[in-house]
Amino acid sequence: MITSNTGTGAVDPAVREELARLRDSIDNIDAAVVHMLAERFKCTQQVGLLKARHQLPPADPAREARQIDRLRTLAESAKLDPAFAEKFLNFIIAEVIHHHERIAEDNGAGPRPAAG
């Protein structure tokens, strides 16, 4: 861990200890987020396979809009910036659609335009 010391004196050991404790918590949360995203993508891969088998389009704009609204509401109640939550979900949705397109191509369906 690299610690920046912008002050002119030594950092109080209690401050260093608290900083390390907080950073350890952040590291644990980051690990949990990565594992949760991996589980989410396992589920969306199954959705992609189902869509490919039934020749459904990779994107579902109505579902995506509902999910964005839902996430914005969750973010507000969690005191998280809803705009940030929306950007984060849009990034995930774009990646999921990309995966679904690739699954469709791999299953001989080829890319299909979004419904709607």
- C-alpha 72/C-alpha 83 separation (Å) is 7
pLDDT at position 21: 98
- C-alpha 104/C-alpha 95 separation (Å) is 14
The pTM score is 0.76
- pLDDT tens digits, residue range 77-95? 999 999 999 999 999 999 9
- CA 67 from centroid of its chain's CA atoms: 13
Q: Which residue has the tokens 């010391």?
A: 5
What is the identity of the amino acid at 45? Q
